[in-house]
Amino acid sequence: MSGPVRPYVITGGRSRPGRPALAIESLVSAVPAAALDPDLLPGDTLNREHQRILTLCRDLLSVAEIAAYLGLPVSVVRVLVDDLWDLGAVQVRPPAPQADLLPTTLLEEVLVGLRQLR
């Protein structure tokens, strides 16, 4: 269950983030100054769920983990993280298929990691 507030209330009626890049495996961490400096995010910019994300993401977690720990649907967390991203309150590390990384290089890295952990 996702709490007493229906998802569309939390996200202000939006159901999709404006930015397509945020994936379920995107990694999020709060910008420390955003948590410390209330003037950076004045007044009613942030709702309770935004605040919960900032508190949770004092270190690095994926969008999926944020959703799991806060008991919110992934689609809702995406929208909220996107807001925080727009405000400069979080850093988002893009999922690894980065343009300069050949798929084979990436797959090799995954394979080496798995073999070491086995």
27 contacts another protein (rule: CB under 8 A): yes
C-alpha 14/C-alpha 79 separation (Å) is 8
Shortest gap between Cβ of 79 and another protein (angstroms)? 12
DSSP run (H or E) holding 49 = helix 48-56
Give me the least distance between CB of 38 and another protein, in Å please: 24
Residue 32 host element (H or E): helix 32-36
117 binds another protein (CB under 8 A): yes
Answer whether 28's CB lies under 8 Å from 92's CB: yes
| Residue from 23, 35, 40, 87 binding another protein (CB under 8 A) | 23
Binding track, positions 55-84, relative to another protein; x by CB under 8 A:
-x--xxxx-xx-xxx-x-xxxx--------
Judged by CB under 8 A, does residue 114 bind another protein?
yes
What DSSP element (H or E) covers 27?
A: strand 27-30
Contact status, residue 101 vs residue 48, Cβ threshold 8 Å: no
Which residues, numbered 79-108, are part of the site for another protein (CB under 8 A)? 93-98, 102-104, 106-108
Whole-angstrom distance, CA of residue 60 vs CA of residue 1: 24
Q: Report the interface residues with another protein, using CB under 8 A.
A: 1-2, 7, 15, 23-27, 29, 56, 59-62, 64-65, 67-69, 71, 73-76, 93-98, 102-104, 106-118
